A and B are shown apart, each in its own frame.
Chain A
Amino acid sequence: MTGSLAATLVRPAMALTTLPAVGAQHAAWLLLAFPAFGAIVLLLGGKRTNAWGHLLGVAMALGAFVVGVLAFVQMLGYPASQRSRDLHLYSWIPVAHFQVSIGLLLDPLSICFVLLITGVGSLIHIYAIGYMSHDPERRRFFGYLNLFITAMLLLVLSDNYVGLYAGWEGVGLASYLLIGFWQYKPSAAVAAKKAFIANRVGDVGLSLAIMAMFATFGSVSFTGVFGAVGGASHGVTTAIGLLLLLGATGKSAQLPLQSWLLDAMEGPTPVSALIHAATMVTAGVYLIVRSAPIFNLAPDARLAVAIVGAVTLLFGAIIGCAKDDIKKALAGSTMSQIGYMMLAAGLGPIGYALAIAHLLAHGFFKAGLFLGAGSIKHSMNDEVDMRRFGGLATVMKITFVTFGFAYLAIIGIPPFSGFFTKDPIIDAAYSRGGVSGALLGTAALLGAGITAFYMTRIMLMTFTGKRRWEDAAHPHEVGPVMTSPMIILAIGSLGAGGFLMISNRLINFLAPVVGTPPLSHGFFTPLSFLSLALVVVGGALAWAMYGRREVPVTAPHGNPITVAARKDLYGDAFNESVLMRPGQWLARLSVFFDNRGVDGLVNTLAATLGGTSGRMRKVQTGFVRSYALSMLVGAVLLIGALLLVRL
């Protein structure tokens, strides 16, 4: 009954009738067509397109951005209840009475993502012109980036779950190709494989959820599913919700499928910024928020989402504290920030819009952080170890300032973005009430303090203190093609949060899709002062450890917590000892299965499967008589099964 209670708290979460798209929105298919065209030309065009390939890639991303802005402006002209517009493209899979049409849904939620993907995406395309300028395969890189933009837009624009799934798999493929882009590095190949496997596990969850929706509601379109979900039993909605959560954990690097994100940093930095920070990894949050009508009726599944988010936000933050590789520290931070979004989404109607607000703000500041890290790496001979940085503030002024803006945004200093988007999440978690509310809220609050610690640590180790550079490194400020995107993102880090949250601008904008939250928030509450105090403590602690003291070039042994955090909190080791050992005797039997990088839950799964496979293939002895025996046994079993049924 809590489900129906939750449903009455909000207006019908989804406007079940969508109007046909007209005007500029009628051309919304161009959003997909532009980057798709770019990807096709760049990937099939071969070396002929080397000279101008990157320009085409940027032009296609910008073109999509322009279309997105036009559609957005048009949407603002409609009254709130008419902002969901459907653009039917064609019938994709018509089976019997069951239709999957490829259609695009332009509504406030999807347009937010369109603007983020194409806007930040275009900036990162421009940045990559400079970053990849020395790479002979730059054209291919832009082809993959365009492919990614196409797939990501398909993911957020589809008006049904199957189209969403198509985009979901597409971004996975693009991510996989881009992580392994520098395939000559063996670590990149292993990382790519790990990402693929983890995502595959998540995808099983999503595809099962879609199948369950079809079996229960007879439809997979958003309108069809959300229209029928009210009649489903509590067990069904909870099961679908949990399956969707499994899908989301894979794509968004949440526990227990988190391990691939750290390894994914093997990819070129623009990829880390675009895919593994700003957009793709937030697809899980999109999935949860988009499925709000299902989660509204499944409080248990929602609680699971919130718990996963809360645990991951602490987990990621602690990992971020100990990593010396700047990109990996930021990856831990990404995990942690997405944990905040998942937590918010798991809080239900009160939190959906907050999750999206934090997601958008995060898109700016995290992309800014990664681009900053990329420009440092670019100018320092691909060095990523922060113990080899230091004192860069004076040599790379623009990078320092833009990075600093993003830093202030992520730790939540007013008036920067994070303050406006993170604190309401903490507030909302406490307002849930009860033990669970207190625990979730405290986790989020603690996370804010730890965030301040690790981000200050990154700032101090990178930009201040003694110069601990390698002899060959000659850091210098990078060119304008790389700095200008960073400057724009820095402005976003400053202004986005306030713009979105003050006077509930985003909340009201999203209300037709995710419902109106039952209460609104002030920003300067006692809780926010407590959170600010924790931020200051975290920052001061970091200063005491890394600012005041000399940072040694080789990592000290450190206390047990640091050691644990350096090893990704033993996430892989735990999986190995609990899940791996029993499977290992099976694994030993496998001859050819690739055992490299057997670490982590997903690889454990792979190893166990490989071991089983190695044993099962021995059944194929090569002796024709044993084949005949298996056939005979099969025949006897079949006869027995048929006769048994009849008895």
Chain B
Amino acid sequence: MSPAHYIALAVILFVIGGVGVLVRRNALVVFMCVELMLNAVNLAFIAFARMHGALDGQVIAFFVMVVAAAEVVVGLAILTSIFRTRRSASVDDANLLKY
């Protein structure tokens, strides 16, 4: 299979992730969708690295994984504290700040 197919797959995964952010209510699932988008990008990096015959893309993927892990730590802390307060994980319930 040519690397171009992987790029197409990455785009599809990215779009699925993006749509997931829009349609899912559970904050955790929304967050997982963001992670899906990041991993789609990782796939794209690796496919491009293969196309260019260079290793940079694969190294970048490692960086992204580390950053994503840090993001999980921060994100889960915030989501947990808001869940403990509201007893709800729905992003639509946090709706005090508006207009």
Q: Contact at A625–B99, with CB atoms within 8 Å?
A: no
**B10-44 interface bits toward A, Cβ cutoff 8 Å, 1 = contact, 0 = none:** 00000000100111010000100000000000000
**B67-99 interface bits toward A, Cβ cutoff 8 Å, 1 = contact, 0 = none:** 000000000000000000000000110111111
Residues of B within 8 A of A632 (CB): 18, 22
CA distance A620 to B95 in the complex (A): 11
Query: In chain B, what residue has the closest Cβ to A616?
Result: B99
Interface size on B, residues (CB 8 A): 14
Nearest CB in chain A: distance from B8 CB, A: 17
User: A97 contacts the other chain (Cβ, under 8 Å)?
Assistant: no
Nearest CB in chain A: distance from B17 CB, A: 11
Residues of A within 8 A of B98 (CB): 620-622
CA distance A497 to B41 in the complex (A): 82
User: A184 contacts the other chain (Cβ, under 8 Å)?
Assistant: no
Nearest CB in chain B: distance from A265 CB, A: 38
Among B18, B23, B96, the residue within 8 A (CB) of A622 is B96
Nearest CB in chain A: distance from B58 CB, A: 26
Task: Tell me whether A623 and B99 are in contact in the complex, defined as CB-CB below 8 angstroms, given that A628-B22, A632-B18, A632-B22 are known contacts.
Answer: no
User: A618 contacts the other chain (Cβ, under 8 Å)?
Assistant: yes
User: A95 contacts the other chain (Cβ, under 8 Å)?
Assistant: no
Q: Contact at B99–A622, with CB atoms within 8 Å?
A: yes
Q: Contact at A625–B91, with CB atoms within 8 Å?
A: yes
Q: Contact at A625–B21, with CB atoms within 8 Å?
A: yes
CA distance A624 to B21 in the complex (A): 10
Among B22, B96, B97, the residue within 8 A (CB) of A625 is B22
Nearest CB in chain B: distance from A137 CB, A: 38
Residues of A within 8 A of B22 (CB): 625, 628-629, 632
User: A617 contacts the other chain (Cβ, under 8 Å)?
Assistant: yes
Q: Contact at A622–B21, with CB atoms within 8 Å?
A: no
CA distance A570 to B88 in the complex (A): 59
CA distance A617 to B95 in the complex (A): 15
Q: Contact at A623–B95, with CB atoms within 8 Å?
A: yes
A-B contacts counted at CB < 8 A amount to 28
Residues of B within 8 A of A624 (CB): 91, 94
CA distance A621 to B98 in the complex (A): 5
Interface of A is mostly: helix
Q: Contact at A625–B18, with CB atoms within 8 Å?
A: no
Q: Contact at B99–A617, with CB atoms within 8 Å?
A: yes
CA distance A5 to B22 in the complex (A): 67
Query: In chain A, what residue has the closest Cβ to B96?
Result: A622
Nearest CB in chain B: distance from A248 CB, A: 39
Query: In chain B, what residue has the closest Cβ to A626?
Result: B22
Residues of A within 8 A of B99 (CB): 617-618, 620, 622
Residues of B within 8 A of A620 (CB): 98-99
Nearest CB in chain A: distance from B68 CB, A: 18
Nearest CB in chain B: distance from A138 CB, A: 44
CA distance A617 to B98 in the complex (A): 8
Among A617, A621, A623, A628, the residue within 8 A (CB) of B21 is A628
CA distance A618 to B21 in the complex (A): 22
Nearest CB in chain B: distance from A241 CB, A: 43
CA distance A628 to B23 in the complex (A): 10
CA distance A632 to B18 in the complex (A): 8
Among A618, A622, A628, A629, the residue within 8 A (CB) of B95 is A622
CA distance A632 to B95 in the complex (A): 20
**A339-369 interface bits toward B, Cβ cutoff 8 Å, 1 = contact, 0 = none:** 0000000000000000000000000000000
Q: Which of A576-627 contact B (CB under 8 A)?
A: 617-618, 620-625
Nearest CB in chain B: distance from A641 CB, A: 19
Residues of A within 8 A of B96 (CB): 622
Residues of A within 8 A of B92 (CB): 623, 625
CA distance A632 to B23 in the complex (A): 13
Residues of B within 8 A of A622 (CB): 95-99
CA distance A621 to B97 in the complex (A): 8
Nearest CB in chain B: distance from A104 CB, A: 49
Q: Which of A623-641 contact B (CB under 8 A)?
A: 623-625, 628-629, 632
CA distance A617 to B23 in the complex (A): 23
Residues of A within 8 A of B18 (CB): 632
**A116-159 interface bits toward B, Cβ cutoff 8 Å, 1 = contact, 0 = none:** 00000000000000000000000000000000000000000000
Residues of B within 8 A of A621 (CB): 95, 98
Show the binding face of A for B, using Cβ within 8 Å.
Answer: 617-618, 620-625, 628-629, 632
Task: Enumerate 8 A-B pairs (CB-CB under 8 Å) in ascending A order.
Answer: A621-B95, A621-B98, A622-B98, A623-B92, A624-B94, A625-B91, A625-B92, A628-B22
Show the binding face of B for A, using Cβ within 8 Å.
Answer: 18, 21-23, 25, 30, 91-92, 94-99
Known contacts A622-B96, A625-B25; 5 additional CB pairs below 8 A are A621-B98, A623-B92, A625-B91, A625-B92, A628-B21
Closest 5 CB pairs of A and B: A622-B98, A622-B95, A617-B99, A624-B91, A628-B21
